[in-house]
Structures are given as C-alpha cells and as structure tokens.
Amino acid sequence: MIHNKSIVELGAGLQTGEFSSVELTHHFIQRIEQLDKDLNAFVSTTPEQALAEAESADQAIKTGQAGPLTGIPIVQKDIFCTRGVKTSCGSKMLDNFISPYDATVVEKLKRAGVVSLGKANMDEFAMGSSNETSFYGPVHNPWDKGRVPGGSSGGSAAAVAARLAVAATGTDTGGSIRQPAAFCGITGLKPTYGRISRFGMIAFASSLDQAGPMTRDAADAALMLQAMAGFDPKDSTCANQPVPDYSATLSDSLEGLKVGLPREYFGEGLDPSVAASVDAAIDLYKRLGAEVIDISLPNSGLAVPTYYVVAPAECSSNLSRFDGVRFGYRCQQPKDLEDLYKRSRGEGFGAEVKRRIMIGTYALSAGYYDAYYLKAQKTRHLISDDFKQAFKTVDVIMGPTTPTPAFGLGEKVDDPVTMYLNDIYTIATNLAGLPGVSIPIEPVSGLPVGLQIIGNYFTEAKLLNVAHRFQQETEWHRLAPEDSRLNP
C-alpha cells in the first residue's frame, strides 16, 4: 500500500509519475478521516491547504524543481506556529490562537515543498510523557489503543506509526521525540541543541527544547533533518555550523565503531525483555564491526531530579506571557486585573502545567534559588561532563530509550513522579545538549521497543549512519500496527 512507503520510496514514485502528490495527499486525508477517530493524533487537519500545497508540489515536479521532500504529506506538532492555522500547543490556553506567523521550521519545510496535513496532538505545552495532558484528550497508541503513545510528541509518533502521515515534526525537551518514537515503533531524532531553530516553536524549557524529525526510518530522518537544520538569525541559541549532507554518509561502514554501553542504563528498573531486545540489537552492531565498550555515566541518577528543577524553572517564566491580555484564553468578566490574571491562567492551564509552573516558581523564589536552581545548574554540569569524558573513548553511546514498552492509558497519570521516571534514559542528553536517536528494535509482546543511540555534539550524520546500517539489516522499522505478525 502506498501509505506504507517511506519518503525515499514515495519520492521515486512522484518523480516517475506513478502517482501525483494530490493523489497521495487525498489518500492520507482519507486515512485520517477513517482512522484518527480512534487515535486522536490530530488536533486540527488542513485538507484544503494540503491539497493546494500538493498541487504546487506537482507543478514543481513537472517543471523539474522538486527536492526530495516535494509533495510529501507530513504533520506538524501543534507546538510549531503556523500562520493562519490554529496553534494550540495542546492547551485550552491557546485553543483560540491563530498564529500570525510561521515558525522557522515550518517555513523551511514549506520551502522544501512538503504538504502539511494538519497539526499533531501533544501533551499540553509539551509537558508530559504519555500525551494524556492534552486539552484535546489523550492520543491512543496505534499498536494497542489501550496504551499511551508516549509524549509529548505523541500525536506525531502515532500519526507516523499508523500511516496517517509519512513523517512528522516533533520536539524533545526531556525525551519527547525519542520516547514516543520508541513506544510507537518509529525513528525519532533529537538533534544537538542549536542544530534547528527554535523560533516559532512555543517554548517549554528554552535551554533544553530542540525540534527534530519523526519518521519511518533513518534515511527519511536524514531528509527531514536536512530541510529543518541550519542557522537562523532569529534564534540567538541556534548554532552557526555548516549542515552536512546527512544522506551521503548513511551507508558508511561501521567497522571499528566504538559503542559505549553505560552500565547505569542497564540496571535496576529496566524491563528484562526490553534489555534482551537491546542486547540483541547490540549483538547485531558487533556483527557489523562495532567494538562494544563498557562505560560509566556516574551522575546519571541526577538527571531526572536536575531536569525537574531546570525545566520547570524555565517554563514558569516562559509561560508567564499567557495572561489573557494579548492572545489566548481570557476568563469571563474579570473583576479586576489580578482576577484577570489568576482566572485566565487558572482556567487556561491544565493540572500538569500548573504543577510545573509552581515547582519552577518555587525553585526560583527568594530563599530557595541556591538550594534548587543553582544546585541543579551545577549538577547539570556534572551530567554534561560525564558525557564529555565518555566521548573521549567512544563514538556513540547505546542503551534502551525507555525502561519499558508503552504503558496503559491512565496507568501513571495520577502519579507525576512515576511518570517522570519514565524519561530516565532520555533526559540527560537534553541537559547536556547532545543528539540522540531512537530506532525500533525487536518488539516485546507485540509492543515496539526503542534503541537509543547518543552521539557527540553535531554528529547527527554519524547517528543516522549508525541507525541506517541497522535498518539495512533489520525489518523492525517496516512493521506497521496493521501488520498481522504483531497483532494476531
């Protein structure tokens, strides 16, 4: 079926005229109409805009002006501002917000010729690991609708996994691309902090947030990243680094690749069947010529607590702009200014957002700053130094993306701390600003499992090469939820 094809395969079909982008887009619009009722992966769909974009894509293909993404239907996480289209960030606060501008990522992808099918559901303001905090209701995991798709880019991951879009954009602050990619059996890349512009991406925690592609496989991720990455004068934290050709090195040999296995990522809390799946993947890498080295990231245990100071502190300030004055939700008949602020924010934000704003407010407040915020900035340094040390001896670090496969809807939603611990393997890379990719490996009891590969700064090309070589040898990334082999 056409919807099972990757960007690379579809690109070939579009070029040869086997099908048009309009036909392809129609097909996906129909699939969304039929299947998204049960998944809730989309917050909004923009079929008219999509078809108009598809038409110009077909035009570009005819005139020989097409690039590898021209005419490819994708979905944007609803955290990216899209001009003229509702940009809700999964929140009641922005349920009425039509952005007057496009995020840099949106602009770049438009320029690359993609067709945007709509906006993907997500945890409210990207705060969550299960997509259960969305104002628009939870997203269901296409592999088992009683389970979560992961979060916060849960809608993006579910849409790609369920073949409702060929690819998606996501954002990752503590694992929000990699964890849902692992739970939904797709490839999700969080690039180095600063690789992709944050302009127009609604901020959760500015020093941790990073956009990235969510795709069927590493080759598609390379094409998406190629379009998304690069310097942006509008973002002070965006790196002015050359963007290499990510597709060119995908098939390079892994002979002599030094793979570090941090013992802290294989200890207590890791589901034994997930561990077995990861071990099998690592065995394959050995057969591909990799040398496996036992390493230690001694401060790994500090990552989650450090994150739950730094991220809430930044979010408490970033979300102050939602005050009911210039955009977004405003409470009914405020009796005075303070009432306007308090009720607009109290009614507009959900419980998890409020928890994090309060934690952050507290961590920055007079008398607690040193004990919480300053301390966390220091432990952040320790965590970052662990990686610096490790990358002196290894090329990449591997381990499980998550301790378990997707958990049940409602299972952890009432226990924030347990929920937070689900991100135990992904958070440290955000604190350090390093790139990481999650790729599907052997499923466990019919549920996808992810292998996380972490690289040094700006080594996305290497990560994609390492991921792609695995995918050349395996079929896990080709499995679809509709596939009878997994859901008998």
Partner 1 sequence: MSLDHSDITKIAHLARMALDESQVDAYAEDLSNILGLVEQLEAAETDAIEPMSHPLHMAQRLRADAVTEEDCRDENQAVAPSVENGLYLVPRVIE
Partner 2 sequence: MQWETVIGLEIHTQLATKSKIFSGASIAYGADPNTQACIIDLGFPGVLPVLNEAVVDMALTFGLAINAEIGPRSVFARKNYFYPDLPKGYQISQFELPIVGMGSLTIDLEDGSQKVIGITRAHLEEDAGKSLHEDFHGMSGIDLNRTGTPLLEIVSEPDMRSIKEAVAYARKIHQLVVYLGICDGNMQEGSFRVDANLSIRPFGQEAFGTRTELKNLNSFRFMERALNFELERQIDLIEGGGKVVQETRLYDADRDETRSMRSKEEANDYRYFPDPDLLPVEINDQQLQRARQNMPELPDQKRQRFESDYSLSSTDALMLTQSRQQADFFEKVVSNGGDARMAANWVTVELTGALNKAGIPLSQSPVTPEQVGGLLRRIADNTISGKLAKQVFEAMWNGEGDADKVIEAKGLKQITDSGQIETIIDEIIANNPKQVEQFRAGKDKLLGFFVGQVMKQTQGKANPGQVNKILLGKLKG
Q: Would you tell me which residues interact with partner 2 (CB under 8 A)?
A: 80-81, 87, 89, 94, 97, 99-101, 103, 198-203, 205-207, 233-237, 313-314, 316-317, 319-323, 325-328, 337, 341, 361, 364-366, 369, 373
Burial class (CB in 10 A: 0-12, 13-18, 19+), 430: buried
In sequence order, the 6+-apart residues with CB closer than 8 A to the CB of 267 are none
Angle, vertex CA 236, rays to CA 232 and CA 239, nearest 5: 60
From partner 1, partner 2, none, interface partner of 357 (C-beta below 5 to 8 A by class) = partner 1
From partner 2, partner 1, none, interface partner of 380 (C-beta below 5 to 8 A by class) = partner 1
Interface region with partner 1, contact rule CB under 8 A, candidates 12-20, 145-153, 159-167, 332-340: 332-340
Cβ nearer to partner 2, comparing 12 with 325: 325
User: Site mask, partner 1, residues 231-260, x = CB under 8 A?
Assistant: --x--xx-xx--------------------
Of 63, 336, 392, 484, the residue at the interface with partner 1 (CB under 8 A) is: 336
Angle, vertex CA 283, rays to CA 280 and CA 284, nearest 5: 95
d(CA 229, CA 231): 7
Interface region with partner 1, contact rule CB under 8 A, candidates 26-34, 94-102, 118-126, 465-473: 94-102
Q: How far is the CB of 354 from partner 2 (least distance, A)?
A: 15
C-alpha 462, offset from chain centre:
19
Q: What H or E segment, with its residue span, contains residue 261?
A: strand 258-262
In the region spanning residues 179 to 198, those forming contacts with partner 1, defined by CB under 8 A, are 192-194
Among 176, 277, 316, 344, the active-site one is: 176
Asked whether position 381 contacts partner 1 by CB under 8 A, the answer is yes
d(CA 349, CA 370): 28
Q: How far is the CB of 234 from partner 1 (least distance, A)?
A: 9
From partner 2, partner 1, none, interface partner of 15 (C-beta below 5 to 8 A by class) = none
C-alpha 282, offset from chain centre:
23
Asked whether position 324 contacts partner 1 by CB under 8 A, the answer is yes
Q: How far is the CB of 263 from partner 2 (least distance, A)?
A: 32
37 a catalytic residue:
no
DSSP assignment letter at 371: I
242, 245, 246, 248 alpha-carbon torsion, rounded to 10°: -150
Cβ nearer to partner 2, comparing 4 with 369: 369
Q: How far is the CB of 237 from partner 2 (least distance, A)?
A: 6
Asked whether position 359 contacts partner 1 by CB under 8 A, the answer is yes
176 a catalytic residue:
yes
> 232 with 155: CB under 8 angstroms?
no
Of 15, 44, 59, 207, the residue at the interface with partner 1 (CB under 8 A) is: 207
Write down the H helix ranges in 76-209. Answer: 104-111, 154-161, 178-184
Q: What H or E segment, with its residue span, contains residue 462?
A: helix 460-473
Cβ nearer to partner 1, comparing 287 with 388: 388
Interface region with partner 1, contact rule CB under 8 A, candidates 26-34, 152-160, 294-302, 448-456: 294-302
Q: How far is the CB of 457 from partner 1 (least distance, A)?
A: 7
* Helices 154-161, 21-39: crossing angle, 10 deg rounding: 120
Of 380, 468, 469, 477, the residue at the interface with partner 1 (CB under 8 A) is: 380
Asked whether position 410 contacts partner 1 by CB under 8 A, the answer is no
From partner 1, partner 2, none, interface partner of 369 (C-beta below 5 to 8 A by class) = partner 2
152 a catalytic residue:
yes
Backbone angles phi, psi at 114, to 5 degrees: -70, 160
Asked whether position 80 contacts partner 1 by CB under 8 A, the answer is no
The single residue listed with the structure tokens 């798709």 is: 149
Q: What H or E segment, with its residue span, contains residue 338?
A: helix 337-348
What string of DSSP letters covers 180-216? HHHHHT-EEEE--TTSB--TTBPPSSTTT-EEEEEES
d(CA 370, CA 388): 26
Among 88, 152, 197, 277, the active-site one is: 152
Interface region with partner 1, contact rule CB under 8 A, candidates 43-51, 170-178, 263-271, 430-438: 430-438
Catalytic amino acids? 77, 152, 176
